[in-house]
C-alpha cells in the first residue's frame, strides 16, 4: 500500500522534487519511530500514509491562498488525501484518521495519540535540517514537542550535543 501512496504523491507533486524528497524523508523517520515504538499494524499504516501525504495540501495552498502557511496546508490537504486513499480503496476509518492528522499537523495542541505525535516528530527532524534552525530553537522544539523515546533519542543524536 505504501508504494501506491508514494507513487500518487510523486505524480501529484511532479517536478517539485524538493517536496517529494521532504515527504520521503518524513516517511523514513516516521516509519522508523513507529516501528521502534512498537505500534500495532493499523497504526503503522496510519503513520506511513500520513507521513507520505502530510504536506499534500501545500500545492493547493499556494494556488488558492498564495501561501504555504500551515493553516492553509491543513485546510487543503485532507480533501486531496481523501481522494487518493478512496481511489486505493483504503478503509474509511484509516482514511478519516490520516485526514485528521494531515488537517492538524501544524496544530500541535491537537496531538491526541501516538500516531499523530510521530508525524510531528518526524516532520521536525526533517525541518530542523532543511530550515537550518538554531540550537536554541532545536532545544525548545525538543522540550515542547518530542514525547516518544525514539524521537527524543533521534533529535538528541542528530542535533543536540
Is the pLDDT higher at 32 or at 72? 32
- Using 50, 70 and 90 to split pLDDT, how confident is the model at 161? confident
| Residue whose C-alpha is closest to residue 127's, from 136, 137, 117, 114 | 137
pLDDT in tens, 88-116: 999 999 999 999 999 999 999 999 999 99
| Residue whose C-alpha is closest to residue 123's, from 143, 101, 139, 100 | 101
The pLDDT assigned to 13 comes to: 97
- Using 50, 70 and 90 to split pLDDT, how confident is the model at 76? very high
- Rounded to whole angstroms, how far apart are CA atoms 132 and 8? 29
The pLDDT assigned to 65 comes to: 94
pLDDT in tens, 111-148: 999 999 999 999 999 999 999 999 999 999 999 999 99
132 CB-near residues (< 8 Å, 6+ apart): none
- Using 50, 70 and 90 to split pLDDT, how confident is the model at 68? confident
Reported pTM: 0.96
- 28 neighbors 143 (Cβ within 8 angstroms): no
Domains of the chain: 2-159 (1.10.3210.10)
The pLDDT assigned to 1 comes to: 85
Amino acid at each position: 500500500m505504501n508504494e501506491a501512496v508514494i507513487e500518487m504523491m510523486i505524480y501529484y507533486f511532479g517536478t517539485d522534487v524538493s517536496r517529494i524528497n521532504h515527504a520521503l524523508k518524513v516517511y523514513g523517520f516516521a516509519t522508523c519511530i513507529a516501528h521502534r515504538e512498537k505500534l500495532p499494524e493499523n497504526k503503522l499504516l496510519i503513520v506511513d500514509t500520513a507521513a507520505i501525504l502530510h504536506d499534500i495540501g501545500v500545492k493547493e495552498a499556494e494556488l488558492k491562498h498564495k501561501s504555504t502557511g500551515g493553516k492553509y496546508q491543513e485546510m487543503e490537504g485532507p480533501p486531496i488525501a481523501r481522494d487518493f486513499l478512496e481511489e486505493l480503496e483504503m478503509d474509511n476509518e484509516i482514511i478519516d484518521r490520516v485526514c485528521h492528522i494531515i488537517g492538524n499537523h501544524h496544530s500541535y495542541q491537537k496531538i491526541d495519540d501516538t500516531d499523530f505525535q510521530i508525524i510531528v516528530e518526524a516532520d521536525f527532524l526533517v525541518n530542523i535540517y532543511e530550515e537550518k534552525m538554531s540550537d536554541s530553537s532545536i532545544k525548545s522544539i525538543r522540550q515542547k514537542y518530542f514525547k516518544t523515546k525514539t524521537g527524543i533519542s533521534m533529535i538528541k543524536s542528530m542535533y543536540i550535543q
